Structure 1
Amino acid sequence: MNKIDIRHVEVVQYISPLREGGSLPAIVKADDDFLYVLKFRGAGQGKKALIAEFIGGEIARTIGLHVPELVFMNLDDSFSKTEPDEEIQDLLKFSVGLNLGLHYLSSAITFDPLASDIDSMTASKILLMDSIISNIDRTAKNTNLLVWNKEVWVIDNGASFYFHHNWQTWENHLTRTFPLIKDHVLLEFAKNLKEAAIIITDKLTDQKIQEIISLIPEDWLENESDPFSPDEIRAAYITYLQAKLSMIDKLVKEAEDAR
């Protein structure tokens, strides 16, 4: 099984904000001369959104979905000093340090369930993955999917793992299914759920889960308001994912019933 290799790059140019995103991500250029969509640690949901984005993206890649390359992006304090827009200036100021970037897919278009094509297996994998990671934000209103080179690409997993916004009650989520799957944009297309479940459980081994979680930057896991240490938080993510995979048959049935 291929080892995950996440590159580190430096932001060298802030190009433009993406104002359709609630957290005000931006297109930036890095020192490798590529463009990225930068997700900021200083945005509304903070570092936890970056963690969710990272785990969700690497899980999607592991199970064979198309995901833009994820990189760790270092942002220095020079950008906020030259930014005239006060809102963006504050965002840049609070985001100095390690952020998350997604390789920018130039000329990609937003997936439209009424006009875009998607095969049943891809739809089934995405839908089941979103059940596993409790992604509340892949609806017809906001698909968080792109079409690029005639293929569907998974982006924006930052609303996943919402239990981590309250660590006091996280264990209550271990045995829950995901009723919100009824609102998933791909529900009607996902007709290979049982086959997708086999692929997911085969690819997403305990070893692979531990590898993904081990790559979360340490300082993303450090929050004064959290009652747990970084190691305890890593263990919680692993336990959560293992619990969801152990009940994947229930998640399949829930989605089939919803459809």
Structure 2
Amino acid sequence: MTLDRSAALGAYAGIVTLGLAWALLGGAGPAPTRFDTIDVKRINVREDDGTLRMVIAGRDHIGGLVIDGKEYPHPNRQEAGMIFYNDEGTENGGLVFDGRKVDGKPTNSGHLSFDRWHQDQTLYVQSLEDGPRRRAGLFVQDRPDGPADFTASDRLRAMPEGPAKTAALKAAGYDGSMARAFLGRDYDDASKLVLRDGAGRPRLRLSVAKDGAAAIEFLDETGKVVRTRTAAN
């Protein structure tokens, strides 16, 4: 049989084209594994070098506080959810939630936060319910400029209140946290926007009460309302 060179080249080109198409469509690598249902206690998301970037877990397995890849006991985390870690493997926010009845009273919380570098949260969205007391909103918080010494948290909590504890908190980077803004539904059933100064003192408050009464209040450094604007005035 005589082989036609043009036909052979055409066949070869066709085979190469099919091979490239198969590779581009994913045939060259393993197909992703698919599941209908997965029951797990914890999922760790890591970079190629092993750096932890995210944890998804229930309350019993969410773990402690991770700083530079090293885990320390967390002072108060009791929720399930998702924890975020920065490029260095240090916690920098998360989404956590819980809820149950306590003495027949419903309690519930949801919290999405973002931290300052090696510090605590500076921006968070939170919903809280404790029986009839409810609050939900967006919060902005100032944190100290220096990193916090999270390894000292247990020792600091055990110290008695007083000047020594105040000085230790400042040295560990905990002193200096200040609320700066709140927008949401407050405990008194009013919708509010509260703006604070650098010392955490409320200076401007816009509110709409449950009955619809609206007001703009200006406050001095002691918290006293010095001027009020309403629809009537």
TM-score (norm 1): 0.27
Bigger CA radius of gyration: 2
Higher helix share: 1
TM-score (norm 2): 0.30
Higher relative contact order (CA 8 A, sep 6+): 1
Higher strand share: 2
